[in-house]
Amino acid sequence: MPLTFPSSPANGQIYTDDNGAVWRFDGVKWDVITSSTKKLFSGARVELGSDFSLTTTPTAISGGIDAIVPFDTDNYFRFATPTRIYVPSNGFYRVNIVLTASSIGDGASYTVTLKRNGNYTYASDSFGANQNTVFDEVLQLNAEDYVEVYASDSLGTGAIVTGSHIEINRLGLSVGTGISTYDAFSGAKAVLTTPFSATSTSTAISWYETTYDQNADVLGSEYWSSLNPTRLTVGTTGYFRLRTFIKTNSNGTADSYNIILKKNGSTTLETINMSANDFVVLNDILNLVDNDYLEVYVSNSGNTGAITTESYIEISRLGV
């Protein structure tokens, strides 16, 4: 029986034939999806082509007609709504944003906020003139969700300068969307809901919940369990990106905090010292085997202080 593919397919569109085989359109032709199929890239980058002036009122940054779009595979950016980056499908996306302030302003007069659909806040930061800020987040989004960056300057005279950008790429699709597991995202993000106290004894941070936890092969939790709340445990051998953000509160002195990333409770992968009101980002690609687990240990030589609720640990499987 001949195959009847959809007419005028979109790039990346999926078709299941009468035999249950799954096909995907690559923009030119239909290819059957197998375990060896090359993964189709989906993403975009949008840069400011001119300075974006700020007021004291938070306003969504617009690329406008001057926006520079080096690539956009799936209609993420639309000139009709130039403040927004839309996503084409249910999935997990890495959003990288780099914003630079103009020379006008003071030490912390700029405030920027990353939002979804105009109301849900993911992250916020304050910084000063001639400084920059970076958001690097993995977000679970649904088709036609959009992200925006709101910015303001408390003096009402600053600007986000030319070349500041937002970059997005799809890491994988959500399980249960009818897509083969080859294209599904596998990873988790564990967070704190209350500060984690730091004492002079090095102790593994207990994460209180996850914002997402998806196994690409089976439904259910693969990485985090409330039975072992300090751990992210991998369920298969492969390569994983681990990203950990740790922020300290105002208690403590210079270099009084000690942060250790460990594998299986005994192998030290990274060690760093921090001060009060400090933060660190650990960003590693690790080759792990089935049932390896990762933990972050913290101590404070002054027997005081805490890790704040902005802190998190994030893992995503890059490949086997």
Residue 198: name the closest of 302, 52, 84 by CA.
302
Q: Does 43-173 carry CATH code 2.60.120.40?
A: yes
Percent of the chain with pLDDT over 90: 74
pLDDT tens digits for 240-293?
A: 999 999 999 999 999 999 999 999 999 999 999 999 999 999 999 999 998 999
User: Does residue 181 have a pLDDT over 70?
Assistant: no
pLDDT at residue 217 in the model: 60
pLDDT at residue 219 in the model: 47
Name the average pLDDT for the chain: 90
Sorted by where each begins, the domain ranges of the chain are 9-38, 43-173, 186-319
Class of domain 186-319: mainly beta
User: Does residue 178 have a pLDDT over 50?
Assistant: no
pTM confidence score: 0.81
pLDDT tens digits for 143-165?
A: 999 999 999 999 999 999 999 99
Any idea of the CA torsion for 249, 106, 132, 255, to the nearest 10 degrees? -30
Residue 204: name the closest of 249, 246, 251, 240 by CA.
246
User: Does residue 28 have a pLDDT over 80?
Assistant: no
Spatial separation of the C-alpha atoms in residues 48 and 37, rounded to whole Å: 35
Residue 267: name the closest of 290, 281, 286 by CA.
286
SS3 assignment, position 66: helix
Spatial separation of the C-alpha atoms in residues 219 and 176, rounded to whole Å: 8
Residue pair 244/261 in contact (Cβ under 8 Å)? The answer is: yes
pLDDT tens digits for 187-218?
A: 999 999 999 999 999 999 999 999 999 876 65
Residue pair 249/276 in contact (Cβ under 8 Å)? The answer is: yes
Tokens of 119: 């109301």
**Do 43-173 and 186-319 agree at the fold level?**
yes
